[in-house]
Amino acid sequence: MRVRTARKIINALFTLLILNASLGNFLSAQTLEDRPLSKRLAALQDRLKSGDREALVSFWKEVTESGAPIIEGVPGNDREVLVTILWRAKEETRNVFVFQLPGTDKPMARLLDTDLWYKTFRLQKGARFVYLLATNLPNPKEWVSLGRFVSAMRTDPLNPLQFAERANELNPYEVTFYSAAELPSAEPQLWSVARPKVPIGRVQHDKFTSKALRNERPIWIYTPHGYAANKKPYGLLVLSDGGLYVNSVQVATTLDNLIAAGQIPPLVAVMMDNPDRGLELSCSSEYGDFLAQEIVPWARVNYHATDRPDQTIIGGVSLGGLAAACVGFKHPEVFGNVLSQSGSFWWKPDEEKDWEWLTRQFAASPRLPLRFSFEAGLLENTSGGPVGRPIPPPLLTANRNLRDTLQSKGYSVHYTEFNGNHTLFNWRGTLGSHLIALVGTNPTPKIPALYKQPLARSATKRKAVATAQVKMEPALLRQYVGRYEIDPKFTHDFVLYVSIKDNSLWVRPGYLRARQLIAESQSRFYDHYIPDLHVAFVKDEKGHVIGLTLNSGQADMLVKKMPPPVPSLTGNTTFTLPGHTDAEAVAIYGSFNNWIQTKNYCAKEGNGWVCRLDLAPGKYTYKFLVDGVGLNDPANSATEDDVYGHTDSVIIIRPK
């Protein structure tokens, strides 16, 4: 999970080129402020000036216990808050920078001659954002040196809340961590949270070879619960950056929830990765042809997708949002709906002088049969670029300009602005509203009460250590054959031969009093795209069943039942996370399980969560995972930084 691939670095560089203000103002010396905006820091400064050196010790103790950033109100202003990000210097520090928030072209200030560095942002209440820190950066003369800055970026060790951006579930090590913040009154992310009793669709992973582009790419296909080729054709959603949508935006969960709530009709989603993101998503005509002439016809033949443009959506985030609008512009006969999340509409081809090239194309062309739903963040209001070169308009401004242009041409436009910055942390929560706007079943949908209330703790993600064998009954399997197209032949416990339709059903009769059964593979799903499966059975009147999409071949599965967690008699290690009682699921992950997030779930006990593991003697780094967000252990002050700047809790298990 810790590896930043070359592609990740390139994407990070590109984001910084656009979203952060010019780095030409970087200073090589520390910055001082006469008076902090933060009342708390101002009071600390006064105490230090009066000679109270213990004040700083008390301050750091409080921050260690409560975490950062510091959030304070603005006197006489009920719309904004002050958010102060902190840094505690452990070595000689010349400067500290905060990235991905407005005003990041200037470094943190140092409080007097202490080890405390800080930067205060004035933000609207309810903001949701991510950020990274970097220290001791040089004063860049050329932007090629920005690669050094990317390698220096790290999460905030004082902020326990992190967001993991994962693009590839096949490689659990390919993940980027960001420090995250959700201010009070942040808009709830209704549709991206898994809900109990919601029927689950299937996500199949494959590879697609393009004859026109002469390349191969990963591709993910979502089919809704109850999918069948003999029903009427399904609406089609096509998304670039497929790995990010599947693994970080929770697109499958969002679709499951929207369909179950009756907000959109069942649809099929095809999500593909982009081998050269900068080339393909920058209004590439060849990429648009690939989607319209290869991907969509393939989806129609293989997944019963509609041929109606008004039921076909092209979408994406950032550059992918730009690409979606470009593809819609060129192929309205295929895609009648454009979905863009923080689209990079500032873009222009290299040979053009003026920015916002695509907006000018729409302005100069007759109105096309297209509908739009797009958004931008209120914190996407800064811009930057190489020193001495033209600077594009802020992303927020470019999106507003496109909105105005489209509306003036008579297009159907649904445009929103979320309170946050340029991150999947926001886009996962806003995707649902755009799908409703484009293909929703109700013009003004009412959100069911189920989706408005905080979720009670669900047992579906809890895991225990007791293991039970599976005995699959042929008679019980056969009654599902017509529905799931299963080959009911099997050899012995744990083994099922999958039909050529790539559909299978696993059944465990009995255990009706069990709260939940968990199916888990130990990297033995031959030719299957999930290396380590961990998923809950669905309880019915006869036992527990689970449907999976597998390739033809032999598969092994273990099933773990759900008695109350009990400590092991030997070698037991107990981790406790207080609070977070409204969380859906809490897990613990770290070097002991290759940082796999779905291996070790915790049990809710009292006013917190308890995780019990059998760990061999040794040294381990780890985190808690609370509803997909990584947190360091608040009860363990021992931390360790890895080579990529991530700070993790660390524990040493000594031999008895």
Per-residue pLDDT reduced to its tens digit, 13-41: 444 444 443 343 333 334 456 799 999 99
Check residue 288 and give its pLDDT.
98
pLDDT band at 183 (very low <50, low <70, confident <90, very high): very high
Asked if the domains at 6-182 and 572-653 fall in one CATH topology, the answer is yes
331 vs 506, higher pLDDT: 331
Check residue 65 and give its pLDDT.
84
SS3 12: helix
Q: How far apart are CA 584 and CA 627, in angstroms?
A: 6
Give the full edge-to-edge strand order of the sheet including 572-578. 572-578, 608-614, 603-605
Check residue 198 and give its pLDDT.
85
Indicate the residue type of 70. Answer: I
**CA nearest to 251, candidates 226, 271, 231, 279:** 271
Percent of the residues in the chain that have a pLDDT greater than 90, as a whole number: 47
pLDDT band at 1 (very low <50, low <70, confident <90, very high): very low
Whole-number average pLDDT of the chain = 77
172 vs 156, higher pLDDT: 156
Check residue 594 and give its pLDDT.
66
Going along 12-171, which residue ranges are E strands?
31-32, 70-74, 77-88, 96-99, 109-110, 116-124, 128-135, 162-166
pLDDT band at 519 (very low <50, low <70, confident <90, very high): low
The dihedral sign for the CA sequence 183, 186, 191, 197: positive
pLDDT exceeds 60 at position 567: no
Q: Per residue in 108-144, is it b (16+ CB within 10 Å) or e — as a string?
A: bbbbeebebbbbbbebebbbbbbbbbbbebeebeebe
* Average pLDDT rounded to a whole number, residues 165-191: 80
Per-residue pLDDT reduced to its tens digit, 632-642: 888 888 887 76
Check residue 518 and give its pLDDT.
54
H or E element, residue 374: strand 371-377
pLDDT band at 547 (very low <50, low <70, confident <90, very high): low
Q: Which of 140-144, 177-181, 199-203, 293-297 has the highest mean pLDDT?
A: 293-297
Domain 202-451 class in CATH: alpha beta
Q: Dig out the tokens for 300 from the structure.
A: 């129609």
pLDDT exceeds 90 at position 603: no
Q: How far apart are CA 343 and CA 323, in angstroms?
A: 8
Q: Which of 29-38, 222-231, 400-409 shows the lowest per-residue confidence on average (mean pLDDT)?
A: 29-38
pLDDT exceeds 50 at position 556: no
SS3 176: strand
Check residue 390 and give its pLDDT.
80
The dihedral sign for the CA sequence 483, 484, 486, 491: negative
Q: How far apart are CA 312 and CA 238, in angstroms?
A: 8
* Average pLDDT rounded to a whole number, residues 580-585: 84
* Average pLDDT rounded to a whole number, residues 332-349: 98
Per-residue pLDDT reduced to its tens digit, 34-76: 799 999 999 999 999 999 989 999 999 999 888 899 999 999 9
Q: Which of 79-93, 434-448, 598-612 has the highest mean pLDDT?
A: 79-93
Q: Which of 241-255, 570-584, 624-638 shows the lowest per-residue confidence on average (mean pLDDT)?
A: 570-584
Check residue 149 and give its pLDDT.
59
Architecture of the domain defined by 572-653: Sandwich (2.60)
pLDDT band at 165 (very low <50, low <70, confident <90, very high): confident
H or E element, residue 286: helix 285-290
pLDDT band at 196 (very low <50, low <70, confident <90, very high): confident
pLDDT exceeds 50 at position 187: yes
pLDDT exceeds 90 at position 211: yes
pTM of the full predicted structure? 0.69
Q: How far apart are CA 586 and CA 455, in angstroms?
A: 13
Check residue 517 and give its pLDDT.
59
Q: How far apart are CA 340 and CA 315, in angstroms?
A: 6
Check residue 383 and give its pLDDT.
79
The two beta strands, 109-110 and 31-32, are: parallel
Check residue 650 and give its pLDDT.
83
Q: Which of 197-211, 222-236, 497-511, 638-652 has the highest mean pLDDT?
A: 222-236
pLDDT band at 589 (very low <50, low <70, confident <90, very high): confident
pLDDT exceeds 70 at position 223: yes
CATH label, 6-182, candidates 1.10.357.10, 2.60.40.420, 2.60.40.1180, 2.60.40.10: 2.60.40.10
pLDDT exceeds 90 at position 87: yes
SS3 578: strand
Q: Which of 32-46, 132-146, 605-619 has the highest mean pLDDT?
A: 32-46
Q: How far apart are CA 110 and CA 32, in angstroms?
A: 5
Residue ranges per domain, the chain? Answer: 6-182, 202-451, 466-560, 572-653
User: Would you put residue 511 in left (φ > 0), alpha (ψ -120 to 50) or beta?
Assistant: left
Check residue 262 and give its pLDDT.
93
Check residue 462 and give its pLDDT.
22
Q: Which of 239-253, 254-268, 484-498, 630-644 shows the lowest per-residue confidence on average (mean pLDDT)?
A: 484-498
Percent of the residues in the chain that have a pLDDT greater than 70, as a whole number: 68
